[in-house]
Amino acid sequence: MTPKHQTSKKILKLLSLFEAAKGLLVLLVGAGLLTFIHQNTQQQAAEIVRLLHLNPARHYPEIFITTLTNLGNVQFWMLSASALLYSLIRFAEAYGLWNDRLWAIWFGVASGGLFLPMELYELSEHITFIRIALFLLNIVLVFFLFRMIRHRAS
């Protein structure tokens, strides 16, 4: 195994852990579990989730608890389902990247690429260091994964 290939595998493992962490964070924020750790933790985690575009139900940090208390509310059920689905997708992608699966690398290119226009729009609305850093990181990761695909094809 070449040093370059070993480095690529390590980067894939890191990406895998990052995807799993995103899925876990959405689950924890959605369940409101972080409120038991510290008062501000839930709000801070919800802000991180919103900022990183991790949660399709961004403005409902305790979505699963709210759903249980409003069992008849279809909107909360849809938000809960989307947050749960998002988490499951992140976990599946994490598994695939950890095991160096081509489908997961393609999925990473697609999912990362989908956020680029949204991140660019948000940058045009309000420039912050974090938004610039996330945008650049996303570009680098999409480019890295795309190069891995091209390398495998050759």
DSSP 60-119: -TTHHHHHHHTTT-HHHHHHHHHHHHHHHHHHHHHHHHHTT-HHHHHHHHHHHHHHHHHH
Lowest mean pLDDT of 11-15, 46-50, 53-57, 83-87, name the range.
Answer: 53-57
Query: In this model, does residue 31 exceed pLDDT 70?
Result: no
Give, in order, the Cα–Cα distances in Å from 72 to each of 55, 76, 78, 83, 137: 22, 9, 11, 18, 41
Report the interhelical angle of 3-31 vs 102-125 (nearest 10°): 60
pTM: 0.69
43-67 pLDDT, tens digit per residue, is 655 666 666 555 445 454 455 555 5
Q: What is the pLDDT of residue 51?
A: 61
Structure tokens at 123: 């940058």
